[in-house]
Structure 1
Amino acid sequence: MGKQRDVPTSNAGDRPVDFDSCRGRTQGDDSDTEVSSRRTFLQTVAAAGAAGATFASTASGASGPYSEYYDEYENVVDVVEAGADDTGGESITPTLERYRTDDTLFVFPEGRYYMDEQFRFTGFENVGFVGDGATLVPANYYDFDGPQYRLFRLGVSYSPGRRLRFEGFDVDQTASNTGIRVIEAYASQRLEVRDVNIYGQHDSGTWGPGMFNVTDPDGQGIVERFRAPDGGEWVDNTPSAGDRWRGPIGIEANQNRGRLTFHHCVLGAFPNNGLYAAHGDGTIVVHGGLYENSNGANVRVGGSNSQIRWPTVRVDSTRPLDQSQRGIRIENGHGIRVHGAAITVSSPDPTSHALSVMNTCESARIENTRIEMAGDDVNHGIVISPLAGETVVTDTEIEHNTAGGHPFWIRESDKQDRVLAEYVTISGEAGDGGGFRDGIRCERDNCRFNVVDVTQRGPGSIDRNAMVNTGSNTVVYRGTYRADQYPYVELGSDTVVRDADLESYQSGREAVCLYTSASNPAFKKNRLINGIRDYGASGVTTWANTY
């Protein structure tokens, strides 16, 4: 039998976090469902060996909230009737070990289930774990037996499971030093994880609460309503101090090869990325959810044709050890799409970019996204890294009210891959901290701005520019540009500005400023209030403008 312990008193039911109570249940594909007659069901504790357990068979007993799943498994085990303690006083891992066999669904009735050692099962064809009002209670770091990393290790990279289901569990980590990875899962064909609610900060410094990977390019997985809103502690403040860098990741999926969806997940402040799914070559889909205050990035995604759809990303708190809290970071892939994201950065302390397109991102599209930035330090909005590939930003709004920064910054590069901004609105009142005082800073060749509206005001005597271009072959078509300083500043070459409306808020200030480095700029059919200030540009063309 497992080790005895004092039954803890949980305050999880008193927490203010509002987790919806619905639990989605998805039947397996018809091709994977066996006929119901092959099912056996454990009603009484049967004598069993570890690997070749024989369960008592019954024609009845197939009832309960998960009975719709029973036909998918040869064996159904009620873990309490199998001998597991549901009061939280004795470890249940030995019971799980006794009944560990393939093609089995483990059912956890309402209760509290204490675990002080890892349950490991790899190379299986089909296994499931479902809870009906079940709460998992990890032992604290010092009492955990064996590797102090996980409760459930289900599949490994070199021996994954084929089909895995895990759903319907609360995890009580409110006691000190009980933070641990709840589930680490590798599945080749089908991975389903739903309704896992983690209460309490991950404070032991061990690996973060979830790791998920689909190992076959044709496999699919979903992680739905996996919630860890209390985040994780920095490792130096935990029993694992010195063992790893920074501390736990919220959810990790860096070896994914199939299609893996994260649906309506919730992650609080983790010291080493929130959702980190950037290094596999499969497809990652992030749909909805709330991601807050993590370091590195709150949502960090790569892969082939991955999508980030309708998430809420929020940075409104910075702890003493927090260093860089990017909103969304995309990298290591192609065809990555951000759609409908709502990103808010309002911490008064330094954080980082709201949305980063990294050097290893071969192509990306950002659309229908809303970014709001405020705070007493310098922060940038959308930043395109120098080696990033073709990037499109469309139907997007950026409101920028920080001490300085560029709402939209296309960093200097020798690459010729196009950056297109279309139907983009940039507004706000920001400072000039660090010398960052431009609404759009374009330092790359071959960029185009269609129907872009920029308003840049600075507090007090601070002047900001609407757009500064240092690249070549830039096209600005239509759009409205307003600023305290200059609406448009040119330092590059072979630029065309056409059908645009440019006006400074300063009385008498010109609409355009051309520096000596500017060559062959052309201004056609624009409204240029107070004209152009030319410090010695070469090859200037003007045609059919109004002043």
Structure 2
Amino acid sequence: MTFDGGSSLGEANPANATSNIDTEVSTAIDPAAYEDRFSEVVDITDDPYGADPSGEDPIDEALMLAWEDDTLIVFPQGQYKMTQSFRRTGWRDVGLIGQNAVIRHGDVETIRGHTVDEGEYRGGTMLFQIGTANQPHQGELIFGGFVFDWARENAGMRGLYAMIGDRAEIRNIAFNGVHDLGTHGNMRVATMAPDAFALVDSIDMSGGGMHYTDTINTRETENYDESISEGGFGQSWSTTGIAGHPSMSGTALFQNVICGPWPDNGLYVQGGGRQIVRNCIASNSGTSNIRFNHTDDWEPIPEIDENEEGELTRDGPYGQSTVEGSVVLIDRMPPGVHDAQRSIWHYAGEGVIRDCKITIAHESESGGAAGNFAIGTRSGVTESIIENCRISLLEPADAFYSGTSAPVTLRDVDIVAEGWDAGSSPASVMGGQTPSLESVTLNGSS
């Protein structure tokens, strides 16, 4: 599958990156750009589906009727209400696209963890659940052109859970308002085969989410083993902006994503295979704003790895997981259990961080590995290269923290510290293991 019809992969461009997290994305998709990929194109408001575009009657049955193999389902502009999760596994080649179509869930009265017990909406808190880790969606999946309405009180679920076994294009989606039900974050997208590829493009989740203790959610668990915290406070694991999956393989590309404050990670694309984060903006999420890793469980694909001779290679600019052309801003902490943030956190395997801009304007009560830092590596990293980045430290913080003894190189990195005594050399704003420094400056001095 090639991405055409206005859906170019584009190129990383630091000039595209901006610290203005109010940047908007388009929430419309033209069916004409995709209709030739499917044998059927249906309007979900037409007979026999009859989805109500006024938002009064639920569309759950219409979705079930319309979802078929090799079918593009179109949502005209309107309001569409869901009162239960829509789960589909075993189908192939399906598109679900809107033209500024607003999706909202029915009213929620009581919720515990990830299940709604009382209200107009009932059941699990994943609105669109496509495929599973063991049985991922096959063929193409096209999804987007939607506005998820979290602007109402007690609104916010996982808009899309998609496990991809072949190709997916997920784009032009806005999550309007603050996710305030304390359940799963907005999206989980993962490729589940070495030659699979998912493009996630033009997503606005700048409203972020609330910690569950500040919502009507009665979650009490602190850890994955369901142990209970003495204070009933716990952590907010899974309330993450975008998540990957532990069983990932293949290639996932996240570009033009705007991610606001989340009580847990923002762009938590970590899992397996190769992850690429390009031209994204992230701000003020607990734990980390962009968190990624790398495993060798991926194969070169035409969309990214074709060289000038038309050959597929693993040695191109994306021969490893990469974060590039992106902006991270830390100027406050989101509500929750964390008191520090990592801007970009390379967690394991190989990785490159390049052409990024990072600003830290909030001082953490902690320091070192537990404090704020602009870029960091963990013990599982096998090699990390950080190049052509600019880091602004407006409050005391580390520009870099290394938790690995593996090779780490900082190259052509400018660090600016303003309003506090940061020392006289780049090493004075670095912690942990000593990296290799090439053309790295602090306030103009190397």
Amino acid at match of 1:141: V
Amino acid at match of 1:152: F
Q: Which residue is equivalent to 1:380? A: 398
Match of residue 21, structure 1, among 20, 26, 37: 26
Amino acid at match of 2:413: T
State whether structure 2 residue 155 is matched by structure 1 residue 178: yes
State whether structure 2 residue 252 is matched by structure 1 residue 276: no
**Contact 2:54 2:79 (8 Å CA) reproduced:** yes
- Secondary structure, aligned partner of 2:123: coil
Shift of 1:319: 4.0
Match of residue 288, structure 1, among 276, 279, 283: 279
Amino acid at match of 1:75: E
Residue 333 and residue 291 in structure 1: after superposition, are their counterparts in 2 closer, same or farther (change >3 A)? same
State whether structure 2 residue 191 is matched by structure 1 residue 214: yes
- Secondary structure, aligned partner of 2:236: coil
Shift of 1:150: 1.1
**Contact 2:360 2:393 (8 Å CA) reproduced:** yes
State whether structure 2 residue 125 is matched by structure 1 residue 149: yes
Match of residue 369, structure 1, among 377, 382, 389: 389
Shift of 1:153: 0.2
Gapped runs of 5+ residues in structure 1? 1-15, 26-64, 414-418, 428-452, 455-479, 481-547
> 1:155-166 residue pairs with structure 2 within 5 A?
155-162=131-138, 163-166=140-143
Q: Which residue is equivalent to 1:78? A: 43
Give the Cα separation in 2 of the matches to 1:147 and 1:215. 26
Shift of 1:279: 2.6
Residue 207 and residue 134 in structure 1: after superposition, are their counterparts in 2 closer, same or farther (change >3 A)? same
Give the Cα separation in 2 of the matches to 1:146 and 1:192. 29
Give the Cα separation in 1 of the matches to 2:207 and 2:364. 20
Q: Which residue is equivalent to 2:325? A: 310
When the two structures are superposed, what TM-score results if normalisation uses the length of structure 2? 0.78
Match of residue 203, structure 2, among 215, 223, 226: 226
State whether structure 2 residue 66 is matched by structure 1 residue 99: yes
**Contact 1:202 1:230 (8 Å CA) reproduced:** yes
**Contact 1:382 1:407 (8 Å CA) reproduced:** no
Q: Which residue is equivalent to 1:115? A: 82
> 1:39-54 residue pairs with structure 2 within 5 A?
none
Q: Which residue is equivalent to 2:301? A: none
Match of residue 329, structure 1, among 323, 334, 345: 345
State whether structure 2 residue 386 is matched by structure 1 residue 409: no
Superposed CA deviations along residues 283-340 of structure 1, whole A, max 9, x for unmatched, are 1011111100001100001014100011010011224534221101001212x00011
**Contact 1:213 1:253 (8 Å CA) reproduced:** yes
**Contact 2:25 2:202 (8 Å CA) reproduced:** no
Q: Which residue is equivalent to 2:165? A: 188
Match of residue 390, structure 1, among 386, 399, 407: 407
**Contact 2:270 2:291 (8 Å CA) reproduced:** yes
**Contact 1:165 1:191 (8 Å CA) reproduced:** yes
Superposed CA deviations along residues 162-217 of structure 1, whole A, max 9, x for unmatched, are 12110111111101111110000011110110000011101001100000001110
Q: Which residue is equivalent to 1:342? A: 357
Superposed CA deviations along residues 190-249 of structure 1, whole A, max 9, x for unmatched, are 011000001110100110000000111011110001111010001111122425532510
Give the Cα separation in 1 of the matches to 2:195 and 2:329. 34
Shift of 1:348: 4.7
- Secondary structure, aligned partner of 1:136: strand
Q: How many residues align?
A: 365
**Contact 1:148 1:206 (8 Å CA) reproduced:** no
Amino acid at match of 1:262: F
Give the Cα separation in 1 of the matches to 2:27 and 2:154. 30
Residue 83 and residue 178 in structure 1: after superposition, are their counterparts in 2 closer, same or farther (change >3 A)? same
Shift of 1:144: 5.1
Amino acid at match of 1:277: V
Judge which range, 75-84 or 307-316, deviates more. 75-84
Judge which range, 237-246 or 250-259, deviates more. 237-246
State whether structure 2 residue 258 is matched by structure 1 residue 266: yes
Superposed CA deviations along residues 231-272 of structure 1, whole A, max 9, x for unmatched, are 000111112242553251000013321111001101100011
Match of residue 205, structure 1, among 176, 182, 202: 182
Shift of 1:22: 7.7
Amino acid at match of 2:188: M
Match of residue 252, structure 1, among 225, 239, 243: 243
CA RMSD of aligned residues (A): 2.1
**Contact 1:103 1:127 (8 Å CA) reproduced:** yes
**Contact 2:25 2:204 (8 Å CA) reproduced:** no
Give the Cα separation in 2 of the matches to 1:325 and 1:226. 22
Give the Cα separation in 2 of the matches to 1:271 and 1:241. 16
**Contact 1:141 1:148 (8 Å CA) reproduced:** no
Give the Cα separation in 2 of the matches to 1:242 and 1:170. 27
**Contact 2:282 2:328 (8 Å CA) reproduced:** yes
Larger Rg: 1
Give the Cα separation in 1 of the matches to 2:189 and 2:384. 24
**Contact 2:27 2:147 (8 Å CA) reproduced:** no
Residue 402 and residue 139 in structure 1: after superposition, are their counterparts in 2 closer, same or farther (change >3 A)? farther
**Contact 2:340 2:364 (8 Å CA) reproduced:** no
Give the Cα separation in 2 of the matches to 1:410 and 1:323. 18
Q: Which residue is equivalent to 1:511? A: none
Superposed CA deviations along residues 465-511 of structure 1, whole A, max 9, x for unmatched, are xxxxxxxxxxxxxxx5xxxxxxxxxxxxxxxxxxxxxxxxxxxxxxx
Give the Cα separation in 1 of the matches to 2:27 and 2:108. 32
Residue 211 and residue 153 in structure 1: after superposition, are their counterparts in 2 closer, same or farther (change >3 A)? same
Give the Cα separation in 1 of the matches to 2:154 and 2:260. 18
Residue 341 and residue 251 in structure 1: after superposition, are their counterparts in 2 closer, same or farther (change >3 A)? same
**Contact 1:358 1:388 (8 Å CA) reproduced:** no
Give the Cα separation in 1 of the matches to 2:88 and 2:220. 26
Amino acid at match of 1:308: V
State the identity as a percent: 26
When the two structures are superposed, what TM-score results if normalisation uses the length of structure 1? 0.64
Residue 392 and residue 144 in structure 1: after superposition, are their counterparts in 2 closer, same or farther (change >3 A)? farther
Give the Cα separation in 2 of the matches to 1:314 and 1:226. 18
Give the Cα separation in 2 of the matches to 1:133 and 1:242. 33
**Contact 1:246 1:272 (8 Å CA) reproduced:** yes
**Contact 2:415 2:441 (8 Å CA) reproduced:** yes
Between 1 and 2, higher relative CO (CA 8 Å, sep ≥ 6) is seen in 2
Residue 407 and residue 288 in structure 1: after superposition, are their counterparts in 2 closer, same or farther (change >3 A)? farther
Shift of 1:105: 1.2
Residue 409 and residue 284 in structure 1: after superposition, are their counterparts in 2 closer, same or farther (change >3 A)? same
Give the Cα separation in 2 of the matches to 1:69 and 1:301. 31
Q: Which residue is equivalent to 1:475? A: none
